[in-house]
Chains A and B, each alone.
Chain A
């Protein structure tokens, strides 16, 4: 069964450093999303991506963040100048044509900023 994959599973970085979180969505999916979940809290929407451009972004997704689909399979989230409060689980999700309502989530990347 096709699945969304994410790498790395755990990323530890120093405050002020840049990190890139990687995702491979399901191959025939068209809509891509990044969410984050601070430990013990609810999931928060960051950004949606369709047709090679950002389609929607939340207030959290400021200039510190950027997304890219560098090739036909990868979808990346870059966080510049990381802060302690960026520590969270970051989930990538994708949904297929005609089924935007059913989002498939990757296993997540746990980001720890020290």
Chain B
């Protein structure tokens, strides 16, 4: 079967750095995406890694190791508005349909 594993909840302090890990096992793999979803909102694209290594976009970075079937999202200088659920998702085929993890709820404390 296909599965993505990520922690259900992570707590951090405002201004800190947090890393959300994701391991995956899928029949196809084109890349690993990360999406942010606030309560009641739609998922919003954050990043995509097709190749091994680190991609940086402002305060957010994403890493991929294809050999380890592992990736992570790194959030720096945490702000209260970063409180949300973060989903890793694998683009599993050439139509880039996304297979999703269960999401990590990020709780930020002042």
Comparing B11-19, B74-82, B90-98, the segment that makes contact with chain A is B90-98
The residues in A between 60 and 114 inclusive whose CB is less than 8 angstroms from any CB of B are 91, 95, 100-108
A28 to B87 alpha-carbon distance, docked (Å):
26
- In the docked arrangement, what's the CA distance between A103 and B87, Å? 13
**Interface residue SS majority, chain A:** strand
Q: Are B87 and A43 in contact (CB under 8 A)?
A: yes
Interface check B63, CB cutoff 8 A? no
Contacts of B95 in A (CB 8 A): 31, 48, 50, 55-56, 100
Interface residues on B, range: 20 to 34
Whether B96 and A31, one on each chain, are in contact in the complex, defined by CB atoms closer than 8 angstroms, is yes
Cβ contact within 8 Å between B98 and A35? yes
Most buried by A among B43, B45, B97: B97
Which residues of B are found within 8 Å of A107, using beta-carbon distances?
A: 41-42
User: Which A residues from 27 to 63 make CB contacts under 8 A with B?
Assistant: 31, 33, 35, 41-45, 48, 50, 55-56, 58
B24 on interface, CB distance cutoff 8 Å: no
Mask of B30-48 contacts with A, CB within 8 angstroms, 1/0: 1101000000011111001
In the complex, the 4 A-B pairs of residues with the closest C-beta atoms, listed nearest first: A105-B42, A100-B96, A101-B48, A43-B100
> Which positions in B face A, CB cutoff 8 Å?
30-31, 33, 41-45, 48, 50, 87, 89, 91, 93, 95-103
